[in-house]
Amino acid sequence: MFSIRQKQILGVTSLVAMVVVGLSVIHVTTLARVALIESRARGELLASAVYHRAYEVVTARDTAYASLRQDPGVRAILASAIYGQNVTFAAIVDPQGFIVAHSDPARVGERLPDSGDLEVLLSAGWLAPLREVYRGDGRTLEHRAPMLLGDEAFGEIRVGVSTLLVREEMDEALAPALGTAVIALIVAVAGALVLARVVLRPIHVISSGLTRLGRGELGVTLDLREAGVPELGSVFDAVSAQLRALPAQSEARRAQLVAMSQRVAALGRLTAGVAHEVKNPLNAMTIHLELVRQKLAQGAASEAITAHLDVIGTEIARLDEVIQGFLKFARPEDLQLGPVDIGGLVGEVFKMVRPEADAAGVALRASADPDLPPVEADAGMLRQALFNLAVNAVQAMPEGGRFEVQSRVAHDGRVEVRLTDTGAGMTPEQLGRVFDLYYTTKPRGSGIGLSMVFRTIQLHQGEITVESVPRAGTTFTVTLPVAG
């Protein structure tokens, strides 16, 4: 794991590196495009010179090729092409691609291979010139200009541009830019070191103070004036003074406060959906009451009115179920606590769920530590909670599977009960809402069962967690306090 200082240095350096890399890519891409545009300009200039000389030489179509081939001016212009930067050849070809005149006279009469069109590359995407220049093999691109005799094209001027030569030109230009990037990274690391030392000093001082508080040195004070944040030092000193003045609470009182907070948290979490569940049937009743009012005003038939009244009656019944479910959940319970043998309780649950498990082809297995102590619980409520979990597990395996309950002593001395099935599992979204009141994935589920399980475990000052993987099963883990 990285320390805060190392993370800050790494973050600043990474940010500068990303900026440098981004600007470098933009710079290199611009250089590639500019180099190809300049090469195209040289090709246009050379092609223009050849065209004007050919215009003076060519007088008839029949003798055009011979005139171009024999004219010393045309040959001189084509031969000068090899002295142009990044230019490898210049040629005049006929409509079939055969060379009429070339900067290399030995190639006259050959067929000129068709290379890529420089104009097409420059009109492509932003990164296209850079990819072309830095291709592994490199190739020759051509600037092309038609030759006309009147309105009829009788040939074409082609000027070759080598991407390898363009690459060499760019490499020479990029050397200073690479040095600048390295210097920028070095400066970024140095700046991050200085920044980390200045910014993180108050954090280190506060961390040291918290460590001393954790060792029981109440009343520790901090001086953060030199760090530029005296307000933080004042707040820390005030908290430290309050801790020193606070009387030590007994272990029983702290346990009582934790249990109370757990119950409040459970109640808040599991009743979050009540407003939504009540609002839906009320909206439906409002709509259908308005429809009934309209039909009465229109003198509609009693059958149409009865249909809307049936919907209103159904929604009222649904609203009553929601309210009854909430009252059942929220109504305080009188726990009849006593020592409960988890092994025997699991055996009773298996007897209750075995008929449904056998019908679905689900194997039931139970195991427990030999010295497993009894838990402090209300036997009836805990049996119902485990039964709900077992029924859900069996119903998640309609094609058969295995449901296993393992009971053991946890590392903190409490009793841990793990209920594992090999069913369909749950998605992360379902897993996050599994204990929410009225939330269910079953077509006819009420969404109350697992909420009641959660509430029961909380009332027993226990904990319940769930792990699940889609198509790989689900595991509920219930942790309960030991009796006595």
Question: Which carries the bigger pLDDT value, residue 477 or residue 70?
Answer: 477
As a whole number of Å, the end-to-end CA separation of the chain is 42
User: Which tops the pLDDT comparison, 256 or 354?
Assistant: 354
Q: In the prediction, which pLDDT does 401 show?
A: 92
In this predicted structure, the answer to whether residue 201 has a pLDDT above a threshold of 90 is no
Q: Break the chain into its structural domains and give their ranges.
A: 4-178, 252-330, 338-480
pLDDT band at 440 (very low <50, low <70, confident <90, very high): low
Closest to 319 measured CA to CA, from 272, 286, 291? 286
Query: When comparing pLDDT for 200 and 292, which is higher?
Result: 292
Mean pLDDT value across residues 126-133: 82
Between 89-98, 177-186, 202-211, 437-446, the lowest mean confidence (pLDDT) is in 437-446
Paired tokens of 47: 């092609």
Q: What single-letter DSSP state applies at residue 460?
A: T
pLDDT digits (tens, 9 = 90+) for 305-343: 777 677 777 767 666 666 665 655 555 556 788 999 999
Verdict on whether the full-model pTM lies above 0.75? no
pLDDT score recorded for residue 420: 93
Average pLDDT of the residues in 101-126 = 86
Residue 350 confidence (pLDDT): 92
Assigned CATH for 4-178: 3.30.450.20
- Apex 226 CA angle, 222 and 227, nearest 5: 80
Phi and psi at 366, nearest 5°, equal -140, 140
DSSP characters over 344-355 = HHHHHHHHHHHH
What pLDDT, on the 0 to 100 scale, is given for residue 248? Answer: 47
What does the pLDDT look like over 28-43, one tens digit per residue? 888 888 888 888 888 8
Query: Which of 103-107, 385-389, 449-453, 474-478 is least confident?
Result: 449-453
Q: At 163, is the pLDDT very low, low, confident or very high (cuts 50, 70, 90)?
A: confident
At 470, the pLDDT band (50, 70, 90 cuts) reads confident
Instruction: Indicate if the pLDDT at residue 12 is higher than 80.
Output: no
Q: What is the pLDDT of residues 58-90, one digit of tens each?
A: 878 778 888 888 888 888 988 888 787 888 899
**Residue 468 pLDDT > 60:** yes
Whether 284 has a pLDDT exceeding 80, the answer reads: no
Average pLDDT over residues 125-136: 81
CATH code of the domain occupying 252-330:
1.10.287
Is the pLDDT at 257 greater than 50? The verdict is no
Quote the percentage of the chain above a pLDDT of 70: 69
Residue 249, pLDDT score: 46
pLDDT value at 250 more than 50: no
**Does residue 260 register a pLDDT over 60?**
no
Lowest-pLDDT choice from 119-128, 164-173, 225-234, 302-311: 225-234
* Count of Cβ atoms closer than 10 Å to residue 245 Cβ: 9
CATH architecture of the region 338-480: 2-Layer Sandwich (3.30)
Residue 188 in tokens = 């970024």
Of 418, 401, 319, 416, nearest in space to 356 by CA: 401
- Range among 133-142, 256-265, 276-285 with highest mean pLDDT value: 133-142
Closest CA to 276 of 331, 322, 313, 328: 322
